[in-house]
Amino acid sequence: MIKIISAAILGLLLVSCGPPQDSHGTHESDDRTKYVGEFKDGRSHGQGTLTFPNGGKYVGEFKDGGPHGQGTVTSADGEKYVGEWKYAELHG
């Protein structure tokens, strides 16, 4: 299940249509994926939480619109990966 969530995160490369300036905020996509956290140049960048409609969640660092750095992804059934992300892919 973690690989499915990882692929979904990579496919989203969230959040390019968030707030236009550097800020903290919330963005919800058409498929009800929700990001709450920091933005830079309108993209998720800094600390944030990405929640998927199926109940899966990523909490951690973002860079240029996707997970990058330390983070935890938890699937809806409780499977968990804690570790590094590099450009929205599991790394480590």
pTM reported for the whole predicted model: 0.79
Q: Strand pairing partners for 84?
A: 70
pLDDT tens string for the chain (92 positions)? 565 555 555 545 544 555 556 788 898 989 999 999 999 988 899 999 999 999 999 999 999 989 999 999 999 999 999 999 998 888 87
Q: How many domains is the chain built from?
A: 1
Give me the CATH number covering residue 39: 2.20.110.10
Burial of 5 (0-12, 13-18, 19+ CB in 10 A): buried
Q: How far apart are CA 35 and CA 50, in angstroms?
A: 4
Size (the chain), residues: 92
Domain that includes residue 58, residue range = 2-90
